[in-house]
Structure 1
Amino acid sequence: MIIRVKENSDFNNSFEILKSRNLNPSKVFSFQNDPFEIERNFPIENLDSSGYLYDNEYYRKLGKRQKDYYRTYKIDFTDDESAKEYCLALQKNENIDDAYLDGYVHLATNPNDSLLSKQIALINIQCEQAWDISSGNPNIIVSVIDTGINDNHEDLRGNIFVDNTGKRGFNFTDDADFNDSRPDKGHGTCVAGLIAASWNNSRGIAGVAPNCRVINCKVFPTNDITAFFSDCQEAINTSIRNGAKILNCSWEINLDKDDKIVTDFIDFINKEATKSVFVFSSGNKNKNIAETAWSKLENCLIVGAMNINDNIWTENDKKGSNFGQNIIYSYGSGVFGLTNENNDSYNVLDSGTSFAAPHVSGICALILSYNPTISPKQVRDIIIDSREMVLGMSSTLGIGKVNALKALNLTQQRFAKLSPNLFS
């Protein structure tokens, strides 16, 4: 549950209602004293008076949105019914500005490199020719917000972002240590490989941006295909703070929902999209996104899936790529990539928009490797303006498919080449 307390409220009285055995003892209460980072966990009985929150110079200097973050808390429950009960009670509490249940996102599942010839998707979007212009740069970082990444895979271990404390990944789930970002599924590993698998190492495959790095952000708990909105938001904040220029989000939300938590989540993404490029998979329900919350995304790239024959991927009326007027397509069916079976495994991946989005994220990384001063909106414009038209695709289905070479050619026309090293 997410709550935001009112300024100068009677803090202790507000939280008497929450002292219950139903609260998760491992993470009872999170205090977000930095606007962009939850730093402390402590039990409710240790809370001080409201002055602890607001009677300090730091708080007074914050802007309105930052103050909202400062007064926002996350409370974990062991069962849904308790969460609903307390949420209703807090919504009526005079000291609470807002209270709502956390939402979920869902996985959108269903060179001399020895296996490069099997990467038909990479070949079809003309990556090999694009690499003559830009093959990436390690200072351009793509965040993979997913199930975690096998950072010891032979084709990934050299392209994993390491922060200044030595962390090779971030775990935002409650079921493991923050530093333990090892995957319990292969989804995130597959996505990361399509973006930034190493090249010219005489083995495996090549990613679209083989010289770029990926941030390993795990938001999906062990053996679960759902993740909390709040964990995704924390991963987004951490990624941007650590320099991620592109964020790959190969997941979808409950697209038919139009309640406050969904609206707030979309608003949050739209604000952050001014800082970095967001790439989303369109979803696998074979429906028009005009009917969904994804239609409210602004300045983000939403990616549908095609098969290698340039047809929109469809299996039946309930399973296939979501489509719509703003959808850009890449290959998400018949895609060959690395897997998480072991540290040197490769195979044809499952079909889905999850594996179309990473191609677009990779092209965005190539663009920013050419010139890192290009804004997120300008990157999005290049991707769209350089698209390749698809025979028979009406405007109601999408706007075309990505082409790496055309995107880099257009980048050359619009911008001078600059080294990312100058801006790192």
Structure 2
Amino acid sequence: MPGSVCRRPVFILDEVLIRFISQHEWMVMGMKKTKLALILLFLFLCAGSAFGQPKAPSDEFVRGDVLVVLEAPGGASEVENQANQIAEATSSRVIRTYSAIAAATGKNIVQLKADGKSAEELLAEVRQIPGVLGATPNYIFKVLRTPNDPEFSSSWGMESINAPGAWEISTGSEEVYVALLDTGIQYDHEDLAANMGRDKDGNFGRNLVSMANAANPMDDNGHGTHLAGIIGAAGDNGLGAAGINWTVRLLAVKVLDGNGAASVGHIIAGLDYVMEQKSKGLNIRVANMAFGGWTPPVSDVATDPLTIACKSLSDAGILLVAAAGNEGQNIASAGGGYKGNTIYPAAFAFPEMVTVAAITQNGALTKFSNFGSSVDIAAPGYEVKSTALGGTYGSLNGTSVASAHVAGAAAL
């Protein structure tokens, strides 16, 4: 088994490629064309590689739930009528529709539930209906972090990406919004409150997990709060830590519950909310997605619900930052219990999207980080200190932590 090797990246700005020089040719990562290139040239120094031990993947989905894609040339005006028609035809009920995505793409995504049927039975029925472009189970995704070991806590991430050097040029802007699709944010944390943004409805974001509590995206897990601190803990305020952006506007989009789990339906609802706010004029530049789920590969990107939703944000000019995942797998050709499956959203490839692996303090890829051609860049993801629930501070591991560094750099 090859050891970890520190690699010095060579940046070619004309083609925006990253080439890692090493005797091991099995690990090569390329970076898609994106406005992030100049910032990454300045910040990121080194990435490496190592194998991890596979674990059994979770391909769970919500019982009796499906996501259906319909052609909607009339945009948002047709959403409810189409949804009700297909629900009636399948003896199911409409759980959600996504009007902002329909308006942007001309495709209507509908979440249906049939209490007396399995997801497989409902899928078989909807796929027979004329006008249905595609349908999938409502898969369950989870946050991408690894167990925390507080013995080795450190705050090395900022120095590793040369954030102090970047701060000589810019410390952020209150005009820039970063949407965190996560477990929410503790918006009253002493180091986050000053950088919390408000949406066009006057809220700190949206809670898509609880419709009854939609205006309150408070974190009940801690994952989102930790990432929020990396991206934008207030700087130069004499408190706790400083984020990559001393000044920024954080938008809490709670799609994951207190256990760190979400259905794809919840995630699409979060993306729909971001698209809605963007269309209303909110200056959302970056959306961080530090979750993932191993599912069968998408066979048709034009009819897959999550693909359509993510691409709608990319097409709107919002940079999507996705965590690569923590299974130690080559995303393009996973082995063991993952064979035949792919992790999303990390495996998506859109012009305005970056997939992030995790490195240790010495620049080597962590043993848990996924890798391969789907990965664009690596960032600090091991024992990184940041804001925590209860107004405290703590450390976490994972590619989710790494993705927050890149999201923060993109917003700076």
Give me the TM-score of the superposition, normalised by structure 1: 0.66
* 1:149 and 1:182 in contact (8 A); partners too: yes
Change (3 A) 1:357 1:18: same
- Tell me the amino acid that sits aligned with residue 332 of structure 1: G
Q: How big is the shift at 1:6?
A: 6.7
Matched, 1:240 2:278: yes
For 2:395, the equivalent position in structure 1 comes to 348
From 259, 269, 279, the counterpart of 2:310: 269
Q: What is the CA–CA distance in structure 2 between the aligned matches of 1:10 and 1:199, rounded to whole Å? A: 49
Preserved contact between residue 215 and residue 239 of structure 1 (Cα < 8 Å): no
Structure scoring higher RCO (CA < 8 A, sep ≥ 6) equals 2
The AA in structure 2 aligned to 1:360 is V
Identity rate of aligned residues, in percent? 24
Distance in 2 between residues matched to 1:211 and 1:173, nearest whole Å: 28
**CA distance in structure 2 between the aligned counterparts of 1:12 and 1:332, rounded to whole angstroms:** 45
- Extract unaligned runs of 5+ from structure 1: 38-61, 111-116, 315-319, 367-424
Please identify, of 180-189 and 90-99, the stretch whose mean Cα deviation from structure 2 is larger: 90-99
Matching of residue 297 in structure 1 with residue 344 in structure 2? no
**Aligned to 1:321, which of 365, 369, 372?**
369
Which residue in the other structure is 1:2 paired with? Answer: 67
Give secondary structure in 1 for the equivalent of 2:220: coil
CA distance in 2, matches of 1:31, 1:169: 19
Q: What letter matches 1:234 in structure 2?
A: D
Q: Does 1:166 align with 2:218?
A: no
Change (3 A) 1:256 1:108: farther
Unaligned residue ranges in structure 2 (runs of 5+): 1-65, 73-77, 147-152, 334-341
| 298, 302, 305: which one aligns with 1:258 | 298
Alignment of 1:318-397 (within 5 A): 320-325=368-373, 326-340=375-389, 342-343=390-391, 345-349=392-396, 351-366=397-412
The residue type paired with residue 329 of structure 1 is A
For the pair 1:309 / 2:362, whether they are aligned, the reply is yes
Structure 1 residues 141-290: aligned runs within 5 Å = 141-174=177-210, 176-228=212-264, 229-238=267-276, 240-241=278-279, 242-254=282-294, 257-259=297-299, 263-274=304-315, 275-290=317-332
Q: What is the one-letter code of the residue matched to 2:120? A: K
Residue type at the aligned position of 1:252: G
User: Does 1:36 pair with 2:73?
Assistant: no
The secondary structure found in structure 2 opposite 1:223 is: coil
- Report the Cα distance in structure 1 between the residues aligned to 2:293 and 2:191, rounded to whole angstroms: 30
The change in CA–CA distance for 1:255 and 1:305 in structure 2 (over 3 A counts) is: farther
Q: State the aligned residue count.
A: 316
Q: Deviations over 1:320-358 (max 9, x none)?
A: 001124431111102111111x12x01222x11010111
Provide the alpha-carbon RMSD of the alignment.
3.0
2:320 counterpart letter in structure 1 = F
Amino acid at match of 2:378: Y
2:174 pairs with 1:126 = no
| Cα pair 2:71 2:132 within 8 Å, conserved | yes
Change (3 A) 1:167 1:175: closer
Distance (Å, rounded) in 1 between the aligned partners of 2:96 and 2:327: 35
Q: Give the deviation of 1:13 after TM superposition.
A: 7.0
Q: Counterpart amino acid of 1:2? A: L
Greater helix content = 1
Task: Please say which structure displays the higher CA radius of gyration.
Answer: 1
Q: For 1:405-420, what aligned pairs fall within 5 Å after superposition?
A: none
Distance in 2 (CA, whole Å) between partners of 1:97 and 1:301 is: 28
Larger strand share, 1 or 2: 2
- Judge conservation of contact 2:178–2:249 (CA < 8 Å) in 1: yes
